[in-house]
A = this chain, B = another copy of it.
Amino acid sequence: MSDIATSRRSRITPEREAELYRAVLDLLREVGYDALTMDAVAARTRSSKATLYRQWGGKAELVVRAMHSQKPGGIADVDTGSLRGDLHTIIGREDDCDMAQNVALMRALSMAAHQNDELRQALRDLLVEPEIDEFRRIIGRAVDRGEIRPDTPALDYIVHMLIGAFATRMLIDEQPPTQAFLISYVDAVVLPALGVSPPR
């Protein structure tokens, strides 16, 4: 799916693509996923609907790729030599204001996805699975370096711990996650559960 999408999208410039994605996210914030139409995207971006469908296949893929474009860089690039350094670096790349906006958009999309199989599939294939894979690579390197014992039970729950911190911050503390909260959570929960010594 991603190869085809890349070759489809390669017909427009990266600047134009970024402009389109910004317009899609603005519309998403204004009207929500269900009320967002390809007609409105076409009008707002002065594109033809045919072009949008040719390049993105449909609304679900367009919206999810627009969300993905907001992520600061690939996690895969991060390699500081320690698990703590890698996780802190990833957290540090998204400032608190962007994080609050992205969390609000993701919550709205997750809610819409409960009623919409195509959106749920696009979120899994294009956002959740690639992110899980990248975290697994970072963790795999920590195992290879000997930082984590390969039989540590918490290895099965890395993603639950990290996404759980995001998902529960608003529910329990009535505020969006921040860099300070996530760094504190990594040091207090994730690293000790993995048996990685805390900082002194």
Q: Which residues of chain B are within 8 angstroms of A49 by Cβ–Cβ distance? A: none
Q: A1 within 8 Å of B by Cβ?
A: no
CB within 8 Å of B: which of A115-135? 128, 132
Query: Which residue in chain B gives the minimum CB-CB distance to A159?
Result: B172
Cβ 8 A contact of A160, one of B114, B156, B164: B164
The size class of the interface chain A forms with chain B is: 20 to 34
Q: A184 within 8 Å of B by Cβ?
A: yes
Q: Which residues of chain B are within 8 angstroms of A107 by Cβ–Cβ distance? A: 114
Copies in the complex: 2
B111 touches A184 (CB 8 A): no
Q: Which residues of chain B are within 8 angstroms of A154 by Cβ–Cβ distance? A: 188-189, 192
CB within 8 Å of B: which of A163-200? 163-165, 167-169, 171-172, 184-185, 187-190, 192-193, 195, 198
A residues bordering B, Cβ < 8 Å?
107, 110-111, 114, 128, 132, 153-154, 156-157, 159-161, 163-165, 167-169, 171-172, 184-185, 187-190, 192-193, 195, 198
